[in-house]
Protein backbone atom coordinates (compact mmCIF):
# COMPACT_ATOMS: atom_id res chain seq x y z
CA UNK A 1 0.00 0.00 0.00
CA UNK A 2 1.42 3.34 -1.09
CA UNK A 3 1.48 5.97 1.66
CA UNK A 4 1.38 9.66 0.88
CA UNK A 5 4.99 10.87 1.27
CA UNK A 6 3.96 14.22 2.73
CA UNK A 7 1.76 12.53 5.30
CA UNK A 8 4.52 10.07 6.18
CA UNK A 9 7.04 12.86 6.68
CA UNK A 10 4.67 15.04 8.69
CA UNK A 11 3.50 12.14 10.88
CA UNK A 12 7.09 11.19 11.70
CA UNK A 13 7.92 14.77 12.62
CA UNK A 14 4.82 15.19 14.81
CA UNK A 15 5.40 11.83 16.53
CA UNK A 16 8.92 12.90 17.52
CA UNK A 17 7.92 16.34 18.77
CA UNK A 18 6.76 17.20 22.27
CA UNK A 19 3.89 19.31 20.95
CA UNK A 20 1.49 16.44 20.21
CA UNK A 21 1.48 14.96 23.75
CA UNK A 22 0.92 18.44 25.17
CA UNK A 23 -2.07 19.03 22.88
CA UNK A 24 -3.61 15.68 23.78
CA UNK A 25 -2.97 16.25 27.49
CA UNK A 26 -4.41 19.76 27.47
CA UNK A 27 -7.45 18.74 25.41
CA UNK A 28 -8.37 15.84 27.69
CA UNK A 29 -7.61 17.83 30.84
CA UNK A 30 -10.16 20.45 29.81
CA UNK A 31 -12.76 17.76 29.09
CA UNK A 32 -12.03 15.93 32.34
CA UNK A 33 -12.31 19.12 34.39
CA UNK A 34 -15.61 19.97 32.67
CA UNK A 35 -17.00 16.49 33.37
CA UNK A 36 -15.85 16.45 37.01
CA UNK A 37 -17.24 19.92 37.69
CA UNK A 38 -20.58 18.90 36.21
CA UNK A 39 -20.65 15.72 38.31
CA UNK A 40 -19.76 17.76 41.40
CA UNK A 41 -22.66 20.13 40.73
CA UNK A 42 -25.05 17.17 40.44
CA UNK A 43 -23.81 15.70 43.73
CA UNK A 44 -24.07 19.09 45.46
CA UNK A 45 -27.66 19.42 44.24
CA UNK A 46 -28.47 15.97 45.61
CA UNK A 47 -27.05 16.89 49.01
CA UNK A 48 -29.00 20.13 49.05
CA UNK A 49 -32.41 18.90 47.88
CA UNK A 50 -32.16 15.14 48.60
CA UNK A 51 -33.52 14.57 45.09
CA UNK A 52 -31.75 12.84 42.25
CA UNK A 53 -32.80 13.94 38.76
CA UNK A 54 -31.82 11.56 36.01
CA UNK A 55 -31.83 14.36 33.43
CA UNK A 56 -28.81 15.89 35.19
CA UNK A 57 -26.60 13.05 33.98
CA UNK A 58 -27.82 13.51 30.42
CA UNK A 59 -26.99 17.19 30.76
CA UNK A 60 -23.48 16.16 31.76
CA UNK A 61 -23.16 14.18 28.52
CA UNK A 62 -24.44 17.14 26.50
CA UNK A 63 -22.15 19.55 28.33
CA UNK A 64 -19.00 17.47 27.80
CA UNK A 65 -19.91 16.77 24.16
CA UNK A 66 -20.54 20.49 23.54
CA UNK A 67 -17.23 21.47 25.16
CA UNK A 68 -15.39 18.98 22.96
CA UNK A 69 -17.19 20.30 19.86
CA UNK A 70 -16.19 23.89 20.65
CA UNK A 71 -12.59 22.84 21.35
CA UNK A 72 -12.43 21.11 17.97
CA UNK A 73 -13.67 24.25 16.23
CA UNK A 74 -10.96 26.26 17.97
CA UNK A 75 -8.09 23.80 17.44
CA UNK A 76 -8.60 22.59 13.87
CA UNK A 77 -7.93 25.94 12.09
CA UNK A 78 -4.78 26.42 14.18
CA UNK A 79 -3.53 22.96 13.20
CA UNK A 80 -4.25 23.11 9.46
CA UNK A 81 -4.08 26.81 8.50
CA UNK A 82 -0.29 27.11 8.55
CA UNK A 83 0.53 23.84 6.79
CA UNK A 84 0.96 25.00 3.17
CA UNK A 85 1.60 28.70 3.81
CA UNK A 86 4.39 27.67 6.17
CA UNK A 87 6.08 25.86 3.30
CA UNK A 88 5.83 29.07 1.25
CA UNK A 89 7.40 31.08 4.04
CA UNK A 90 10.28 28.61 4.32
CA UNK A 91 10.56 28.64 0.50
CA UNK A 92 10.28 24.86 0.33
CA UNK A 93 7.00 24.59 -1.56
CA UNK A 94 8.60 25.16 -4.96
CA UNK A 95 11.24 22.56 -4.16
CA UNK A 96 8.54 20.06 -3.28
CA UNK A 97 6.77 20.74 -6.58
CA UNK A 98 9.95 20.00 -8.54
CA UNK A 99 9.91 16.42 -7.26
CA UNK A 100 7.49 13.65 -8.18
CA UNK A 101 5.14 14.86 -5.47
CA UNK A 102 2.16 16.59 -7.07
CA UNK A 103 -0.06 19.37 -5.78
CA UNK A 104 -2.77 16.89 -4.80
CA UNK A 105 -0.25 14.87 -2.78
CA UNK A 106 0.82 18.00 -0.91
CA UNK A 107 -2.74 19.11 -0.13
CA UNK A 108 -4.04 15.70 0.95
CA UNK A 109 -0.84 14.89 2.83
CA UNK A 110 -1.07 18.10 4.84
CA UNK A 111 -4.78 17.50 5.45
CA UNK A 112 -4.25 13.92 6.61
CA UNK A 113 -1.43 15.04 8.88
CA UNK A 114 -3.67 17.60 10.57
CA UNK A 115 -6.66 15.27 10.75
CA UNK A 116 -4.60 12.48 12.29
CA UNK A 117 -3.92 14.77 15.26
CA UNK A 118 -7.61 15.65 15.47
CA UNK A 119 -8.64 11.99 15.24
CA UNK A 120 -6.26 11.20 18.07
CA UNK A 121 -7.94 13.86 20.18
CA UNK A 122 -11.39 12.50 19.35
CA UNK A 123 -10.49 8.88 20.13
CA UNK A 124 -8.66 9.82 23.33
CA UNK A 125 -11.78 11.63 24.60
CA UNK A 126 -13.90 8.47 24.34
CA UNK A 127 -13.34 7.40 28.01
CA UNK A 128 -14.51 10.81 29.24
CA UNK A 129 -17.66 10.64 27.13
CA UNK A 130 -18.11 7.06 28.36
CA UNK A 131 -18.68 8.31 31.93
CA UNK A 132 -22.35 8.55 31.06
CA UNK A 133 -22.44 4.76 30.69
CA UNK A 134 -22.35 4.57 34.48
CA UNK A 135 -25.84 6.04 34.64
CA UNK A 136 -27.21 4.77 31.34
CA UNK A 137 -29.43 6.53 28.82
CA UNK A 138 -26.80 6.69 26.08
CA UNK A 139 -25.75 3.65 24.06
CA UNK A 140 -22.54 2.80 22.24
CA UNK A 141 -24.28 3.55 18.93
CA UNK A 142 -25.01 7.09 20.17
CA UNK A 143 -21.35 7.61 21.07
CA UNK A 144 -20.25 6.32 17.65
CA UNK A 145 -22.72 8.63 15.91
CA UNK A 146 -21.36 11.55 17.91
CA UNK A 147 -17.81 10.60 16.94
CA UNK A 148 -18.93 10.48 13.28
CA UNK A 149 -20.25 14.02 13.67
CA UNK A 150 -16.89 15.08 15.11
CA UNK A 151 -14.99 13.45 12.24
CA UNK A 152 -17.12 15.19 9.59
CA UNK A 153 -16.74 18.50 11.41
CA UNK A 154 -12.97 18.00 11.56
CA UNK A 155 -12.83 17.23 7.83
CA UNK A 156 -15.01 20.23 6.95
CA UNK A 157 -13.19 22.78 9.12
CA UNK A 158 -9.83 21.23 8.23
CA UNK A 159 -10.61 21.65 4.53
CA UNK A 160 -11.35 25.32 5.15
CA UNK A 161 -8.01 25.67 6.92
CA UNK A 162 -6.15 23.93 4.08
CA UNK A 163 -7.89 26.12 1.51
CA UNK A 164 -6.98 29.32 3.37
CA UNK A 165 -3.43 28.06 3.73
CA UNK A 166 -3.20 27.29 0.01
CA UNK A 167 -4.37 30.72 -1.15
CA UNK A 168 -2.41 32.74 1.44
CA UNK A 169 1.27 33.59 1.38
CA UNK A 170 1.59 34.07 5.16
CA UNK A 171 0.64 31.71 7.96
CA UNK A 172 -0.76 34.57 10.03
CA UNK A 173 -3.09 35.63 7.24
CA UNK A 174 -4.10 32.02 6.62
CA UNK A 175 -4.89 31.41 10.30
CA UNK A 176 -6.95 34.58 10.63
CA UNK A 177 -8.78 33.77 7.38
CA UNK A 178 -9.51 30.24 8.56
CA UNK A 179 -10.98 31.45 11.84
CA UNK A 180 -13.02 34.12 10.06
CA UNK A 181 -14.36 31.58 7.57
CA UNK A 182 -15.24 29.16 10.37
CA UNK A 183 -17.03 31.93 12.26
CA UNK A 184 -18.88 32.96 9.10
CA UNK A 185 -20.09 29.40 8.52
CA UNK A 186 -21.05 28.71 12.14
CA UNK A 187 -22.27 32.12 13.33
CA UNK A 188 -22.91 33.87 10.01
CA UNK A 189 -25.48 31.34 8.81
CA UNK A 190 -27.28 31.67 12.15
CA UNK A 191 -27.27 35.48 11.89
CA UNK A 192 -28.64 35.35 8.33
CA UNK A 193 -31.40 32.98 9.39
CA UNK A 194 -32.37 35.05 12.45
CA UNK A 195 -32.41 38.34 10.51
CA UNK A 196 -34.35 36.80 7.64
CA UNK A 197 -36.86 35.21 10.00
CA UNK A 198 -37.34 38.50 11.87
CA UNK A 199 -37.80 40.41 8.63
CA UNK A 200 -40.31 37.84 7.38
CA UNK A 201 -42.32 38.04 10.60
CA UNK A 202 -42.54 41.82 10.30
CA UNK A 203 -43.56 41.84 6.63
CA UNK A 204 -45.79 38.75 6.40
CA UNK A 205 -49.01 37.67 8.02
CA UNK A 206 -48.86 35.76 11.32
CA UNK A 207 -48.67 31.99 10.93
CA UNK A 208 -47.35 32.11 7.36
CA UNK A 209 -44.39 29.90 8.24
CA UNK A 210 -41.59 32.47 8.17
CA UNK A 211 -38.45 32.17 6.14
CA UNK A 212 -38.21 28.41 6.48
CA UNK A 213 -36.29 28.08 3.20
CA UNK A 214 -33.45 30.12 4.67
CA UNK A 215 -33.05 27.34 7.23
CA UNK A 216 -31.51 25.23 4.49
CA UNK A 217 -28.47 27.49 4.82
CA UNK A 218 -27.88 25.83 8.19
CA UNK A 219 -27.07 22.56 6.43
CA UNK A 220 -23.53 23.85 5.99
CA UNK A 221 -23.34 24.70 9.71
CA UNK A 222 -21.60 21.95 11.74
CA UNK A 223 -23.27 23.25 14.92
CA UNK A 224 -26.75 22.60 13.48
CA UNK A 225 -25.69 19.07 12.51
CA UNK A 226 -24.33 18.53 16.01
CA UNK A 227 -27.65 19.69 17.49
CA UNK A 228 -29.59 17.39 15.18
CA UNK A 229 -27.51 14.44 16.40
CA UNK A 230 -28.24 15.35 20.03
CA UNK A 231 -31.96 15.68 19.26
CA UNK A 232 -31.98 12.19 17.77
CA UNK A 233 -30.25 10.78 20.88
CA UNK A 234 -31.86 12.65 23.76
CA UNK A 235 -34.87 14.43 22.33
CA UNK A 236 -35.53 18.17 21.98
CA UNK A 237 -34.48 20.71 24.56
CA UNK A 238 -30.80 19.80 24.98
CA UNK A 239 -27.62 21.40 23.73
CA UNK A 240 -27.83 24.52 21.59
CA UNK A 241 -31.62 24.38 21.63
CA UNK A 242 -31.59 25.64 25.22
CA UNK A 243 -29.92 28.87 24.06
CA UNK A 244 -31.59 29.07 20.63
CA UNK A 245 -35.20 27.81 20.88
CA UNK A 246 -35.86 28.65 17.24
CA UNK A 247 -33.40 25.92 16.26
CA UNK A 248 -35.92 23.33 17.44
CA UNK A 249 -38.47 24.69 14.99
CA UNK A 250 -36.00 24.24 12.16
CA UNK A 251 -35.07 20.69 13.16
CA UNK A 252 -38.58 19.63 14.19
CA UNK A 253 -39.73 16.52 12.38
CA UNK A 254 -36.51 15.90 10.44
CA UNK A 255 -33.79 15.10 12.95
CA UNK A 256 -32.24 12.10 11.18
CA UNK A 257 -32.86 13.54 7.70
CA UNK A 258 -31.31 16.83 8.81
CA UNK A 259 -28.01 15.47 10.09
CA UNK A 260 -27.66 13.10 7.13
CA UNK A 261 -28.25 15.99 4.71
CA UNK A 262 -25.88 18.20 6.69
CA UNK A 263 -23.12 15.60 6.55
CA UNK A 264 -23.56 15.20 2.78
CA UNK A 265 -23.53 18.96 2.17
CA UNK A 266 -20.44 19.47 4.32
CA UNK A 267 -18.60 16.63 2.59
CA UNK A 268 -19.39 18.17 -0.80
CA UNK A 269 -18.17 21.58 0.36
CA UNK A 270 -15.01 19.94 1.72
CA UNK A 271 -14.35 18.33 -1.66
CA UNK A 272 -14.85 21.69 -3.41
CA UNK A 273 -12.44 23.50 -1.07
CA UNK A 274 -9.82 20.77 -1.42
CA UNK A 275 -10.11 21.01 -5.21
CA UNK A 276 -9.59 24.76 -4.94
CA UNK A 277 -6.56 24.22 -2.72
CA UNK A 278 -5.03 21.79 -5.23
CA UNK A 279 -5.56 24.30 -8.01
CA UNK A 280 -3.92 27.06 -5.97
CA UNK A 281 -0.88 24.95 -5.11
CA UNK A 282 -0.37 23.55 -8.62
CA UNK A 283 2.27 25.45 -10.64
CA UNK A 284 0.80 27.73 -13.23
CA UNK A 285 2.01 27.38 -16.81
CA UNK A 286 1.28 29.59 -19.74
CA UNK A 287 1.29 26.64 -22.12
CA UNK A 288 -1.64 24.31 -22.30
CA UNK A 289 -1.25 20.60 -22.40
CA UNK A 290 -1.05 19.19 -25.89
CA UNK A 291 -0.44 22.57 -27.49
CA UNK A 292 2.68 22.90 -29.63
CA UNK A 293 4.59 26.13 -29.86
CA UNK A 294 4.61 27.38 -33.44
CA UNK A 295 7.59 29.33 -34.82
CA UNK A 296 7.05 33.06 -35.18
CA UNK A 297 6.14 34.16 -38.66
CA UNK A 298 7.99 37.05 -40.22
CA UNK A 299 9.93 38.12 -43.24
CA UNK A 300 13.01 36.04 -42.37
CA UNK A 301 11.12 32.77 -42.05
CA UNK A 302 11.54 30.20 -44.76
CA UNK A 303 8.40 29.27 -46.62
Please report which confidence band the pLDDT of residue 177 belongs to, taking 50, 70 and 90 as the band edges. Answer: very high
In the chain, what is the straight-line distance between the N-terminal and C-terminal CA atoms, in Å?
56
Q: Which of 142, 173, 165 is nearest to 274 (CA)?
A: 165
51-86 core/surface letters (b: 16 or more CB in 10 A; e: else) = eeeeebbbbbbbbbbbbbbebbbebbbebbbbbbbb
Average pLDDT, the chain: 78
pLDDT attached to residue 274: 93
What pTM did the predictor assign? Answer: 0.80
Counted domains in the chain: 1
Query: SS3 of 285, please?
Result: coil
What phi, psi does 106 have (nearest 5°)?
A: -65, -45
Residue 167 belongs to a domain: yes
Residue 5 belongs to a domain: no
Please report which confidence band the pLDDT of residue 215 belongs to, taking 50, 70 and 90 as the band edges. Answer: low
229-254 core/surface letters (b: 16 or more CB in 10 A; e: else) = bbbebbebebbbbeebeebeebbeee
Decide: 53 and 139 in contact? Cβ < 8 Å. no
Distance, C-alpha 281 to centroid of its chain: 22
Residue 287 belongs to a domain: no
Residue 303 belongs to a domain: no
Residue 121 belongs to a domain: yes
Q: Which of 136, 161, 114 is nearest to 60 (CA)?
A: 136
For residue range 255-275, what is the model confidence (pLDDT) as tens digits? 577 788 889 999 999 999 999
Q: Would you say residue 135 has pLDDT above 80? A: no
pLDDT attached to residue 300: 47
For residue range 221-264, what is the model confidence (pLDDT) as tens digits? 898 888 888 877 776 555 454 445 545 555 555 557 778 888 99
Q: What is the domain range of residue 189?
A: 16-281
Q: Would you say residue 157 has pLDDT above 90? A: yes
Residue 145 belongs to a domain: yes
Residue 286 belongs to a domain: no
Residue 221 belongs to a domain: yes
Q: HSE on the CB side for 27, CA within 13 Å?
A: 26
Amino acid sequence: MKINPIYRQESRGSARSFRLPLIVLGFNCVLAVAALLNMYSVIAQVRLTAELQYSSFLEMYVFVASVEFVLLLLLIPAITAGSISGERERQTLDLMLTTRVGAADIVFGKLLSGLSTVFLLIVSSFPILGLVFIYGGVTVADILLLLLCYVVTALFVGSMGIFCSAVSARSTVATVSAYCLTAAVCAGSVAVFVLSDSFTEMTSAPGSGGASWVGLLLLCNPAATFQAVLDGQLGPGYGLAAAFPWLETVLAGHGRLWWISGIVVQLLLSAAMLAGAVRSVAPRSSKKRGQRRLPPQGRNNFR
